[in-house]
Structure 1
Amino acid sequence: MAVTFSNLHTEAGLKSVNEHLSGKTYISGDQLTKDDIKVYGAVLEQPSSDLYPNASKWYQAVSAKLASSFPGKAVGVKVGGAAPAEAAPAKPAAADDDDDDDDIDLFGEETEEEKKAAEAREATKATTKKKESGKSSVLMDVKPWDDETDMKKLEEAVRGVEMEGLFWGASKLVPVGYGIKKLQIMLTIIDDLVSVDTLIEERLTEEPINEYVQSCDIVAFNKI
């Protein structure tokens, strides 16, 4: 009977594998089977030897077994953290035998769990990329229509704009003449997520905010 685990990219999933491997070398006992290959392919990286000692030893054992049994031939399976190698020619029928290890299908269709693990890896990469994106500090002038514009409501409307990667900062009212004041406000943006031009054209000068805002000007733009 096949052994299955879920959420292998989470602490709970790794804990279940670690507990299952207590007193065992491989998932199903003392022999490497398809279960080991499937679970190995779904684990994102070698488990911590401190938190998951059984799973860590198992991971190393599978890595060593694959490296020795399928050198440069394991498609879609990482060996010792290395990228998957190119596919090798199909094994001749004459070389088949009854050994369970030889029946391991490294070239079969992805299971649902393997697909989810791949999606989790891509999501992790995307999150890391966002974290590494550059930031910029922007000083902006927001001008009202006239001296009768409620500047408190204007500022509330401006700060009410929410976008991923946009962070509003300090502000002050600056006189421009004839009793009119403008709002001067700081904002920090993540460059890959926010375009200041789009923020102004599609959010700050469009309904309903344009009831208070006549125009916006970028005073200063600095990379952080």
Structure 2
Amino acid sequence: MAITFSDLHTEKGIKSLDQFLSGKTYISGDQLTKDDVNVYAAVVEKPGDSFPNAAKWYHAVTSRLAPSFPGNAQGVRFGGKAEAAPAKAAATADDDDDLDLFGDETEEDKKAAEEREAAKKSTKKKESGKSSVLLDVKPWDDETDMKKLEEAVRSVEMPGLLWGACKLVPVGYGIKKLQIMMTIVDDLVSVDTLIEERLTVEPCNEYIQSCDIVAFNKI
């Protein structure tokens, strides 16, 4: 995974790099990598003594790249600006590290890319919206056992569905309806499907005559 630092032409940026390099020889540890080359190209001059870690790293990278740029190793500057030359230099530097800075994508790069993509998908799933829904559940008549009706409603279980508080509300002629709250994950639960395929079919329809959505609010 590529590592970058912003504003490396400012003291603040160099300070951030210096802190990151504490206890390290190179960006990724003990081996020179393309991260070092990319950051090195963005540093326009050798860090001062007030940034010892960055200065030590700069010297180490310069030493590795210097063979390809004799006389221009310090800062690899041309016209006062860091050029893309360090990339070419690193490609022809010592071969003992088997470092292919700008070759084909490696298996490690592919794996890192796949992990980032998986993380994005996981984040999207975690960010899936939720809603709070209030249902009216009506019995067949005044002889319907409302306790059994509530048990029938709560017996319906599915991913993304959580039943909440409930109460009985008189509707007339001795008949009461059940008002019950539920919380759903929008991507997993369809309220219409829940009513049509779970609550108003067997075995729940022994007690439940119909269901209506009273309130539907995004959380």
Q: TM-score, normalised by structure 2?
A: 0.52
Question: Pairwise mapping of residues 187-198 of structure 1 onto structure 2 (< 5 A)?
Answer: 187-198=182-193
2:178 matches 1:206: no
Unmatched 5+ stretches in structure 2 = 1-21, 42-86
The 1:206–1:127 alpha-carbon spacing in structure 2 relative to 1, beyond 3 Å, is: farther
Tell me the residue number matched to 1:25.
Answer: 25
Q: How far off its partner does 1:144 sit?
A: 2.0
Instruction: Give the drift of 1:217.
Output: 0.4
What's the TM-score, normalizing by structure 1?
A: 0.51
In the alignment, the residues of structure 1 paired with residue 118 and residue 158 of structure 2 have an alpha-carbon distance, to the nearest angstrom, of 20
Q: Does the 8 Å contact 2:137/2:211 carry over to 1?
A: yes
Structure possessing the higher radius of gyration over alpha carbons = 2
Q: CA RMSD in A?
A: 3.7
Aligned length in residues: 151
Structure-1 residue corresponding to 2:59: none
Separation in structure 2 between the aligned mates of residue 142 and residue 156 of structure 1, nearest angstrom: 12
Question: Partner amino acid for 2:132?
Answer: S
Q: 1:183 aligns with which of 178, 199, 204?
A: 178
2:148 aligned counterpart, secondary structure: helix
Match of 1:65 among 17, 25, 37: 37
**Within 5 A, what are the aligned runs for 1:1-224?**
25=25, 29=30, 31-32=31-32, 62=35, 64-68=36-40, 97=92, 99-100=94-95, 102-104=99-101, 106-108=103-105, 110-111=107-108, 115=111, 117-224=112-219
**Structure 1: which 5+ residue stretches go unaligned?**
1-21, 38-61, 70-90
Distance of 1:185 and 1:146 partners within structure 2: 18
* SS at 1:142 equivalent: strand
Look up the SS of the partner of 1:103 in the other structure: coil
State the percentage of identical aligned residues. 73
Q: Which amino acid aligns with 2:37?
A: K
Q: What one-letter code is carried by the residue in structure 2 that aligns with 1:65?
A: V
Once the two structures are TM-superposed, the CA of residue 167 in structure 1 deviates from its matched residue by: 2.5
How many angstroms does 1:180 deviate by?
2.7
2:183 partner SS: strand
What amino acid is the match of 2:167? Answer: K
The question of whether the paired residues in 1 share the 8 Å contact of 2:129 and 2:218 is answered with yes
In the TM superposition, residue 149 of structure 1 has moved relative to its aligned partner by 2.8
